[in-house]
Structure 1
Amino acid sequence: MAAFGQRKAQRLARADASRKGALDERAAAVVQLLNGRARFCTTSSCSGRLVLAQGRGADINSCEIQKKNCTWLMVTHEMCIKDDVMTALEKATGDVVLKFEPFVLHVLCRELRDAQLLHSVAVDSGFRNSGITVGRGGKIIMAVRSTHCLEVPLSHKGKLMVSEEYIEFLIHVANRKMEENMRRIDRFYKGLESALQTAVSTDNSPAEETQKSRPVYMHRRKKKTIREQGVQPSPKDHKEQLEPEDDTESSLDVFAEIVI
């Protein structure tokens, strides 16, 4: 897997292209934990944020999210207060929305089983919109995502369209979502740390792998001996011969969990 190692080195050597230009503090522990393992490489992350985003007035009837020509009047990765939001709204000249965006993480994985491990931990931690994408070139990306977002229009062409009381209510809702987001990140980190330790322990136990593979070899050898001697197999022997073939269903289950 030298190609993966080279790809990871090139990726980590790139400059941070985010608006902030640096890793979010709350996401740092997870990112460092994964990048410290040879089988993973994070490609992008955000610990979650509250944003007052201003776009062009003409975009108010558009069904698409405008990423270009968008200005952030306020952004924080922590909980916010009403005064900060109202001060930021005073700068509004276009259409402004209040958005809460939860933790998101994209991880390049060396093998499919590595992505499945991350997917399992993510879902168990509350990030139920997570999924795995396998590209044509075999590139495997695991995305950690959640569904508890929030996006509410507040002003149109610089004019506030809602009451301050409603804004205060929205801030309360957004802050509760941020608190839940923080709890999920903590659960994800602890679950990931435990899962990676377990995976390492399993990889370092050749005796266990030998024990697992031995029955398959013995059953095949027994089957060959029975055929050579022309002996009719007993019901027990017949059952043992079929056991190695039963892996088909379990191997299909591997792909049933993948969201593409």
Structure 2
Amino acid sequence: MFDCFSKEKSDFLRKKDKSKKGCVDEDIKEIINIINSKKDYYTTSSCSGRIVLLEKLSNRKNESNWLFARHNKIKFNEIKNYLKNKIKNEIWLKQEPLILHVRCRNLKSAKKLLNASRKIFKRAGVISLGENKIMVEIIGSERIDAIIADRNFAADEKYLKNLVKYANRNFEENKGKGERFLIAIKNI
């Protein structure tokens, strides 16, 4: 009997990484390798978590300039330096959690992955349930989305320092959850 899932997995994992960065984040590499080593799963997209500063050019997601993106903690001066220039558009600081999209062979394997995920992450669920196409999304809950400047205002130094502190704290919490998840998925 022909195994469509294994063929799709093999084909997908041979493809070039299409992400903006062009490669898997270092902090999530081991998680991805473990998932992809299991016969019933493969990852289709991932991010270990990041802190991003962006300039919104419009309300459309793909119409923003990424001023910087870090997959680690940031320093206050990194933010401050971007606010020295004349600001024409909204500037947002975003701290985003770990996210994984995992294709599962069947509902049984999806359930096993969800059971392991939900012990650590509040937000894990099936996001696509087509014929022979089951996709699970696992995403952390630690996040910050804060406007810090536009053409009419810029957040003060005290606020920005606190924002950086909380973004870094969330980033560390997210990293800890990733480490616990790594242990959990070894047993699925």
**What range is the shorter-chain TM-score in?**
over 0.9
- Cα deviations across residues 120-165 of structure 1 (Å, max 9, x unaligned)? 111111x1111013433230111111222110001113x5421011
- For the pair 1:50 / 2:51, whether they are aligned, the reply is yes
Task: Specify the SS of the correspondent of 1:29.
Answer: helix
Alignment of 1:25-40 (within 5 A): 25-40=26-41
Distance between the aligned counterparts of 2:168 and 2:132, measured in 1?
Answer: 40
- For the pair 1:180 / 2:173, whether they are aligned, the reply is yes
Q: What does residue 20 of structure 2 align with?
A: 19
Deviation at 1:90, TM superposition (A): 3.4
Distance between the aligned counterparts of 1:85 and 1:183, measured in 2?
Answer: 25
Distance between the aligned counterparts of 1:110 and 1:183, measured in 2?
Answer: 28
Distance between the aligned counterparts of 2:4 and 2:71, measured in 1?
Answer: 35
- For the pair 1:189 / 2:182, whether they are aligned, the reply is yes
Aligned length: 186
Distance between the aligned counterparts of 1:51 and 1:174, measured in 2?
Answer: 10
Conservation of the 8 A alpha-carbon contact between 1:133 and 1:142: yes
- For the pair 1:10 / 2:11, whether they are aligned, the reply is yes
Distance between the aligned counterparts of 1:184 and 1:27, measured in 2?
Answer: 11
Structure 2 unmatched ranges of 5 or more: none
Task: Specify the SS of the correspondent of 1:38.
Answer: coil
Task: Specify the SS of the correspondent of 1:130.
Answer: strand
Say which one has the larger Rg.
Answer: 1
Conservation of the 8 A alpha-carbon contact between 1:51 and 1:98: yes
Q: TM-score, normalised to structure 1's length?
A: 0.68
Conservation of the 8 A alpha-carbon contact between 1:40 and 1:108: yes
- Cα deviations across residues 77-135 of structure 1 (Å, max 9, x unaligned)? 1011101111233355311110010000000010111111111111111x111101343
Match for residue 83 of structure 1 among 77, 83, 95: 77
Q: What does residue 208 of structure 1 align with?
A: none
Q: What does residue 101 of structure 1 align with?
A: 96
Distance between the aligned counterparts of 1:20 and 1:134, measured in 2?
Answer: 25
Cα pair distance change 1:75/1:160, threshold 3 Å: farther
The structure whose residues are more often helix, as a share, is 1
- Cα deviations across residues 205-227 of structure 1 (Å, max 9, x unaligned)? xxxxxxxxxxxxxxxxxxxxxxx
- For the pair 1:170 / 2:163, whether they are aligned, the reply is yes
- Cα deviations across residues 20-59 of structure 1 (Å, max 9, x unaligned)? 0110000100000011111111000000000001112x54
Range with bigger deviation, 86-95 or 102-111: 86-95
Conservation of the 8 A alpha-carbon contact between 2:105 and 2:132: no
- Amino acid of the residue matched to residue 5 of structure 1? S
Higher relative contact order (CA 8 A, sep 6+): 2
- Cα deviations across residues 171-215 of structure 1 (Å, max 9, x unaligned)? 00101000100100000000111x23xxxxxxxxxxxxxxxxxxx
Task: Specify the SS of the correspondent of 1:135.
Answer: strand
Alignment of 1:64-79 (within 5 A): 66-79=60-73
Distance between the aligned counterparts of 2:88 and 2:14, measured in 1?
Answer: 39
- Amino acid of the residue matched to residue 115 of structure 1? A
Q: TM-score, normalised to structure 2's length?
A: 0.93
Distance between the aligned counterparts of 2:46 and 2:40, measured in 1?
Answer: 18
Structure 1 unmatched ranges of 5 or more: 60-65, 197-260
Conservation of the 8 A alpha-carbon contact between 2:83 and 2:154: no
- For the pair 1:120 / 2:115, whether they are aligned, the reply is yes
Distance between the aligned counterparts of 1:90 and 1:13, measured in 2?
Answer: 44
Distance between the aligned counterparts of 1:37 and 1:136, measured in 2?
Answer: 21
Conservation of the 8 A alpha-carbon contact between 2:106 and 2:132: no
